[in-house]
Structure 1
């Protein structure tokens, strides 16, 4: 159990910057309904942030996972040098092509009104790509504290820019109309400061990672690089497929929905904001992945590794279930917050539980996917992801025109469900792990029923105080249920707060 406690501790450290990063980003996104009354004004920025993940996959081409894999039996410094040289050269070449094609990209993405967004996007992608292996090095060396410091610093720079130029500056200029700062306000950058803040945050992050870059020696082992590429190229397909599954609905929404352009932008703005309400699930997934990937590789040769993986899956699913309940049972609170300025922002709130449950399936898939990474059968992962991408494309094209937000959310849900099931079936064939399948399915079914029952109660009586009260009761009930069912498992973890205290003498 010490291994699981170690993973939990590392997940916490990786989770702190991830949670704070996502939470601050979430607050910035939550601020959109207060800064912009009309959701349509946020559609362009949503489009940019739907493009960035695709390009991040292309720029990093699986090097992060390959670094963890090959560092188990190769000279780590030599490997790091070779992959860093590869990353630097490829990033310079690709960003040059991207920058030269920025006009065509702006046109294809319907960003003709803001071509500067594409230029700023190029900078974000370039700096983030160069930070990839440095962050992987910190994770592989089990240095989560430095990882957390660098991540948080970049986010704080991002946040400071946005608060200054969108929160503080407009009010200051209105009170001091003769201030020279009015020139900045007159530039009318508006929501573009989200990208500028991101760009400066990415640059600050790279600057703080200079100590990791200074350890690089200019050496390039071509045979080693070819071996790494043989391992990692299927991961590019996995990455692209994953981005299609995650981002396609937002990327194509306004192009396939049968609405006038302005109304389509309105719905895209709402859908993108509603999608972010499942952030608690994605926080859990990302924090876990940061710690789990190097951990799984390091544990793969240990006796009883599969049993540990099964226990880790159970704790992961339990954590996701609690996150799901926090979202689903307090949905009215979230709706109340985002609709304080404009009721329009709450139109698509009903799809949030569907998206959240779909993201749990995605998290389970990521956990399951360790089988093909450990066995080197990455092509299977590529085929699973391609299958998911085909399902996503077909369902988005069929359902968005008819069901709008609901169609997009059902496409996401179905895709991740099929990927999860496919990965489980293939994983049990090539790398059997004794997952507590029935218990995990039961937990997922219970939390789904609780959320549906809660929504049913609110159809009868809907004051927000009643929603909060009944939601809290249901959450407490599930907590007590899990504590009872998993009592022995928690006791085996030997957590301080579960230890029996000695009775006072005398």
Structure 2
């Protein structure tokens, strides 16, 4: 249990800071859906689908390589080699983005505002340059600075967006000759969101300047070649992951035009993107787990009990995400109010599908430890490319008929297949004693409980009955899990106090 507690501690410090930051950012959803038209929101969503896609290329798996090689090599050499590699590549790739500004603007349907791509290029570059400094904070156990930096950046982002979208228009309206009137463009709303993001990244970079400049101008070529051999396949993993996670917005924009108008497609993207964010609880939980788990898994790899530790981590993870799934779907009629534009509520049917898809993705992250520890990162590339092929195929066939609903089921199918392949393949290469049957049962029972609540809500469309049944179902599921896993829960700090006496009496 000490290993689990260690991972929990890392997740709390490093992951929850990201959860808090992204949740604060999530509060922008009702604000932006109120300020933007569905077309503008869709335009912004397309650009923000492009950014993480490029982040993968700009970082090319070096963060994972940094954790992996720091276990066996001098940490200062690894940090210097990784940092210099990213600095050189970021400069080259940023110039390439600027050079291909016009065709990329056309591809992303912002040809009339090519300056958006200039801002996007700067955002991506700053993200890449802060990747390893953040990784160094995690490795050195500096959670306070990690959390402070994340939260400061996102608070700056929110304040700046509010300034551009609310304060500036009011000042100009009250005083038409205000100095801001010479610079402010009310039709440049998405641009101001990007500018706020860039300001955020600059502030974050300044806070991390001590870590960033902690490298020596000495790139170890032999180490770099070895790291590249390990990390480069992770580009395919990351690119496939981005296709699976974000490219569906671009495909929806290109292939969903029921009346032949681009405006309809942009609105569909806006609806889907807003509803996708309602799966944020599991998405953030997965992100928090990933940030804590990656350095933890590598640090535990030399332990004889490593497979048992990984299996127990998986069990607690599945239990947690099942509870998260029910917490969102059972109270979806409350969560939907985070989307201020009620016209977007038409897409709420995708939320349960996307929640399950993100659950599968989290399980896949757990399972992927076998190829990262065994230096088989090419296997991860194959699995992710299979997932990407499934995503593209399903979206290509079904988007013209079902729109964003096809995107949701493509995401579900993609992550489900990736999870299954990784499990089967991984058990052959690195056996881990997962409680597979039990974990599948937990997921199925959670879905059944959701279905029961859904049919009760349809039969009795009353808010009090809806929330009452939702609460009852959630409590029953939690008690069921506690009863089945009472030996495990008895070892936990808080709930264990209520279960240990019962175990002794037994």
Q: Above 0.5 in TM-score?
A: yes
Q: Aligned residue for 1:354?
A: 353
Q: How many Å separate the matches in 1 of 2:424 and 2:495?
A: 38
Distance 2:448 2:166 in 1: 41
Counterpart position of 2:276: 275
Question: 3-state SS of the aligned residue for 1:32?
Answer: helix
Q: 1:432 to 1:189 in 2, by over 3 A?
A: same
Partner of 1:234: 233
- Map of 1:73-84 to 2, 5 A cutoff? 73-84=72-83
Decide whether aligned partners of structure 1 residues 175 and 292 sit closer, same or farther in structure 2, where only a CA change above 3 A counts: same
Equivalent residues in 2 for 1:372-451, closer than 5 Å: 372-451=371-450
Q: Distance in 1 between matches of 2:490 and 2:203?
A: 43
Query: Deviation string for 1:303-333 (max 9, x for gaps)?
Result: 2111010000111111111111111111111
Identify the residue that residue 483 of structure 1 maps to in structure 2: 482
Residue 126 of structure 1, CA deviation: 0.3
Match 2:496 to one of 469, 490, 498 = 498
Aligned partners of 1:239, 1:175: CA distance in 2, in Å?
48
Say yes or no: does 1:213 pair with 2:218.
no
CA apart distance, 1:81: 0.5
Aligned to 1:20: 20
1:375 Cα deviation (Å)?
A: 0.6
Residue 191 of structure 1 corresponds to 190
Deviation at 1:239, TM superposition (A): 0.6
**C-alpha spacing 1:444/1:501, structure 2 compared with 1 (3 Å):** closer
2:489–2:499 contact (8 Å) kept in structure 1: no
Q: CA shift at 1:468, angstroms? A: 2.0
Residue 146 of structure 1 and its aligned partner are, at CA, apart by: 1.5
Cα distance change on mapping 1:391 and 1:222 into 2, 3 Å: same
Distance verdict in 2 for CA 1:124–1:136, change over 3 Å: same
Tell me if 1:35 matches 2:35.
yes
Distance, in Å, in 2 between the alignment partners of 1:186 and 1:470 is 49
1:100 maps to 2:99: yes
Aligned to 1:134: 133
1:343 Cα shift? 2.8
Deviation at 1:337, TM superposition (A): 4.3
CA contact (8 A) 1:369 1:381 kept: yes
Deviations 1:231-284 (A, max 9, x none): 111111101110111112111111111322111111111111111111111100
Structure 2 counterpart SS, 1:499: helix
Pair 1:365–1:429, CA change in 2 (3 A):
same
For 1:452 and 1:90, the matched residues in 2 are separated by 50
Alignment of 1:126-205 (within 5 A): 126-186=125-185, 188-205=187-204
- Counting only pairs closer than 5 Å after superposition, residues 306-325 of structure 1 correspond to structure 2 as 306-325=307-326
1:326-354 C-alpha deviation (Å, 9 max, x unpaired) = 11111111224425xx4311011011000
Q: Which moved more, 1:168-177 or 1:206-215?
A: 168-177
What SS class does the counterpart of residue 246 from structure 2 fall into? helix
SS at match of 1:376: coil
For residue 97 of structure 1, report the CA deviation from its aligned partner. Answer: 1.0
- Could you tell me how far apart the structure 2 residues matched to 1:502 and 1:275 are? 41
- Structure 1 distance, partners of 2:320, 2:112, is 43
Which 5+ residue runs of structure 1 have no aligned equivalent?
A: none
Query: In structure 2, do the counterparts of structure 1 residues 186 and 249 end up closer, same or farther at CA, with 3 Å as the change threshold?
Result: closer
Give yes or no for contact 1:333–1:464 (8 Å, CA) kept in 2: no
Q: Secondary structure at the match of 1:74?
A: coil
8 Å CA contact 2:331–2:467 kept in 1: the answer is: yes
The answer to whether the Cα contact below 8 Å between 1:281 and 1:360 also exists between their aligned partners in 2 is yes
CA distance in 2, matches of 1:454, 1:107: 46
- Matched positions, count: 499
- Name 2:364's counterpart in structure 1: 365
Cα distance between partner residues in 2 of 1:447 and 1:183? 56
Residues 110-148 of structure 1: per-residue CA shift (max 9 Å, x gap): 111221211110010000000011111111122222211
Give distance in 2, aligned partners of 1:47 and 1:74. Answer: 40
- Cα 1:382–1:445 shift into 2, 3 Å: same
1:181 counterpart SS class = helix
Q: Is the 2:252–2:404 Cα contact (8 Å) retained in structure 1?
A: no
2:257/2:264 contact within 8 Å kept: no
Secondary structure in 2 aligned to 1:149?
helix
Secondary structure of the residue aligned to 2:179 is coil
Shift of 1:492: 2.4
Unaligned runs of 5+ in 2: 502-506
What pairs with 1:310-349 in structure 2 (closer than 5 Å)? 310-339=311-340, 342-349=341-348
Under a length normalisation based on structure 1, what TM-score does the superposition of the two structures give? 0.95
TM-score (norm 2): 0.95
